[in-house]
Amino acid sequence: MAKADPQGVLTGAHYIDGDEACAEGAMAAGCRFIAGYPITPSTEVAERMAGRFPTMGGTFIQMEDELASMAAIIGACWGGTKSMTVTSGPGFSLMMENVGLAVMMETPLVVVNVQRGGPSTGLPTMPGQADMMQAKWGSHGDYEIIAVAPNSPQEAFDLTIEAFNLSERFRSPVFVMLDECVGHMTEKVVIPPADRIEVVPRFMYEGPPEKYLPYQVDGGRDGVPISPMLHAGMGARFHTTGLTHDHRGYPVMTPECHEQLLSRLVGKIRDHKDEIVHVVETDVEGADVVVLSYGISTRVAYGAVADAKRKGLKVGHVEMKIVWPLPETRILEIAAKVKGLVMVEMNLGQVVREVQRLVSGRCKVLLAGHYGGTVHDPKKVLSKIEEAAR
Amino acid sequence: MSDTVTKAPERLAEPIRAEDLPHPMEKWLRMDRIPHIWCPTCGLGTVVTALVEGIKEAQIEPDRLAVVSGIGCTGRVAGYMKFDSFHTTHGRALPFATGLRLSNPKMKVVVVSGDGDIFGIGGNHFIHAARRNMDLTVICVNNFIYAMTGGQVAPTTPGPANTSTTPFGAFEPPFNLPYLAESCGAVYVARWTSLDVRRMSHSIAKALLKPGFSLVEIIAPCSTLYARRNRLGSGLDLLKFYQQNAIIQNGAKTADVGIDFQRPFIVGEFVDAERPTWEELMRKQMKSVLGEKFIPHEGGECSSCE
């Protein structure tokens, strides 16, 4: 671990919204390139960075669309700069093409999606959490992805740093799945001094550049099977491609090479899923029902859990800060001991289906879903908790 | 122009074997990837040679140049060039190159891709990169067809050429690429055929050295699809056609250089203009408003790299 570059750290207590806090988290994590395209309700992230970057050596460019924004940050990363983009629903759809390229080229970067109501143009100014499965599977082909989901401006700051760190650790794109409600919610955000912010440095190749093979994994780093990087201009004259490739980065069109590549790409995250867990648990031991939630739905769940406890129900709460990969081991441990799980999410059933698949009937798994546009009614979450307890 | 001098074997009595001789381009090509995938008589081999000659002529350090390609036959160029090279997604080479360049302004960034890639699926990126005068050189190999996917109509196909998706003849008006580039703000625009190796190399060198957005369009034969579907003979026949029908007219008005099906067409250096680049404009603007507080992006290492 290294410490944050003080130039990007706005140490102090601030009264800012989730979008702005996300931008501050990115800059604290060392992001110095952002390409974006205006879209509600995420634009404030790019606006904040456009205003702050010129005094810290960062570059902002407003691209012609989200296809271009996503492509530009991959190029910028290979140029040697920590990079991100930010968007909402329709823009997220456009980015999916190059999310696949970032996965295939193993490019560490961060994509922020401030979710709004969908499908299509949907509810541009109102919240949703219905892009969760798109975050997991939105680009074509087999891959694993990492996604964090903040529930407050403070978490938007903290988890954006965590997203950058995970992207470097696993050489993978990482999503910050905000929503309109958290994005536009203004609260106190405490930004610590730079020397108290841990930053995962890029895994760099240290041998002679002419010997560099961009996808040669020699033991990886910290047990993760990734290869060290070099950037453009460092003398390696390497090749990388979106095609299935070997350790040299050269295209190899064989099922064997494809299997070898995909098993590592998927495995580097799937095999380390127990290390990518970030949950906050309350009263889970001895509970009859455990509520699972992420993002803004966590804030609604607080009220419903409190109401259920007042009614005498034994209810625990697991707040998932990282949704993908799912905290599978922990969910299974809990499922073995409770009558039921209640998944609170602002969609008509997305992450809950993964939980149901995982739990496979060991206990009830109920959805406290919601169409979006507003946050949930806590009473409806409470009724699901009561149903699970029966 | 090659700076590789082939030494004669000491004992002349022994026959010279080809495998003992260095390939004149081995410094610039990934020899472990040769032979390439392109069809016999495809124009792309010549374009790659001309690109290397252009880079040599411009005296650009190989470590300071990146090649970015999209998808398609020309999209494979990046994979054969011994530079930092990126084979990206269909149409997105230009925004990828934009990010690469702004992140690492010490690099010369060349985009080599096809007409369908840059002007079909990537058309929006082209017009905006040209408008911004982003410091990029674009080499567009125009074979009038989507070749890798089997010969479909392209935004450059002149009517009434036969393609696999216009079996009764193309009828949409095609783009005039130099005109489009100039009107969007490109500062250097040239067009040659793949037969014009030396002129093409010189133009590529000029484009590389010109600050700002440049386009070199190369008209190249696709004998496997375009020529065969239209009964134009072999790749060699197409080169002969270029020889007899490409009219060199440097400084021609780009509005007049549209290409019709198998009719004489104009090649040459069309645009060589001065305009500040995106980076120059950005720095000037930031300095004028922020003064000493402005810290330009120096690129290279990320601040937290090991």
- Cβ–Cβ gap B128/A97 under 8 Å: no
Query: What integer pLDDT is reported at residue B299 of this predicted model?
Result: 53
Of B79, B87, B299, the CB nearest to A79: B299
pLDDT at residue number B303: 35
Q: Does B298 touch chain A (CB under 8 A)?
A: yes
Token reading at B278: 């995106």
pLDDT at B301: 40
Which chain A residues touch B295 with a CB distance below 8 Å?
A: 7, 54-57
Q: What pLDDT sits at residue B302?
A: 37
Q: Is the pLDDT of residue A60 over 50?
A: yes
Q: How far apart are CA B210 and CA B199, in angstroms?
A: 16
Q: What is the pLDDT of residues B82-129, one digit of tens each?
A: 999 999 999 999 999 999 999 999 999 999 999 999 999 999 999 999
Look up the CATH architecture of domain A2-199: 3-Layer(aba) Sandwich (3.40)
Tell whether A102 is within 8 A of chain B (Cβ): no
pLDDT at B304: 35
For residues A201 and A2, give the distance between their C-alpha atoms in angstroms, rounded to a whole number: 6
Q: Tokens 């895994």, residue?
A: A203
| Chain B residues in contact with A59 (beta carbon < 8 A) | 102-103, 297
Name the A residues in 17-36 with CB < 8 Å from any B CB: 30, 32-33, 35
Q: Do the Cβ atoms of B87 and A242 come within 8 Å?
A: yes
Between chains, do A201 and B304 touch, taking CB under 8 Å as contact? yes
Structure tokens at B141: 């190999």
Look at A57 and B295 and tell me if their CB atoms are within 8 Å.
yes
Residue A350 vs residue B306, higher pLDDT: A350
Closest CA to A338 of A311, A307, A317: A317
Residue A144 burial (C-beta neighbours within 10 Å; 0-12, 13-18, 19+): buried
pLDDT value at A319 more than 50 = yes
Domains along chain B? Answer: 24-293 (3.40.50.970)
Residue with tokens 């890639």: B117
Gap between the Cα atoms of B38 and A60, Å rounded: 39
List the Cα angle A276/A277/A280 in 5-degree steps.
150
Nearest Cα of chain A lies from the Cα of B244 at a distance, in angstroms, of 39
CATH class of the region A280-389: alpha beta
Query: Among A178-187, A190-199, B20-29, where is mean pLDDT lowest?
Result: B20-29
pLDDT-based confidence at residue B23 (cuts at 50, 70, 90): confident
Give the count of alpha carbons within 13 A of A103, CB side only: 29
Least CB–CB distance from A202: residue in B30, B88, B306: B306
| Pairing mode, strands A59-62 and A33-36 | parallel
Q: What is the spatial distance between Cα B291 and Cα A388, in angstroms, rounded to a whole number?
A: 63
Band of pLDDT at residue A152, cut at 50, 70 and 90: very high
Asked whether this chain's domains A2-199 and A280-389 adopt the same fold, the reply is yes
Containing B99, the helix (H) or strand (E) segment is helix B93-103
How far apart CA A44 and CA B225 sit, in angstroms, is 49
Among the partner residues A4, A80, A239, nearest to B103 by beta-carbon distance: A80
* pLDDT, tens digit, 9 for 90 and up, residues A249-265: 999 999 999 999 999 99
Partners of B301 in the beta sheet?
none
B130/chain A closest Cα distance in angstroms: 12
Question: Closest Cα of chain B to A229: distance in Å?
Answer: 10
The closest CB to that of B98, out of A75, A241, A251, belongs to A75
Kindly give the pairing relationship between strand A198-199 and strand A2-3. antiparallel
Q: What are the extents of the domains in chain A?
A: 2-199, 280-389
Q: pLDDT tens digit string along B181-235?
A: 999 999 999 999 999 999 999 999 999 999 999 999 999 999 999 999 999 999 9
- Give the gap in angstroms from C-alpha B302 to the nearest C-alpha of chain A: 5
B84 touches chain A (CB under 8 A): yes
Quickly state the pLDDT bin for B298 (edges 50, 70, 90).
confident
Which of these, A251, A271, A288, lies nearest to A363 by C-alpha position?
A: A288
With a cut of 0.90, is the ipTM above it?
Answer: yes
Partner residue opposite A81 with nearest CB, options B82, B294, B299: B299
Residue among B82, B95, B294 whose CB faces A54 most closely: B294
Per-residue pLDDT at B2 exceeds 90: no
**Residue A362, C-beta contacts closer than 8 angstroms, at least 6 positions apart:** A332, A335, A336
- Asked if B61 reaches chain A (Cβ–Cβ under 8 Å), the answer is no
pLDDT bracket for residue B19 (50, 70, 90): confident
Checking if the pLDDT of B165 tops 90, the result is: yes
Q: Do A237 and B104 touch (CB under 8 A)?
A: no
Q: Could you report the per-residue pLDDT of B52-84, keeping only the tens digit for each?
A: 999 999 999 999 999 999 999 999 999 999 999
From the candidates B64, B81, B100, B107, which should be mutated to test the interface with A, based on the most A CB atoms within 10 A? B100
On average, the pLDDT of chain B sits at 93
Cα distances (Å, whole numbers) of residue B5 to B1, B24, B25: 11, 8, 11
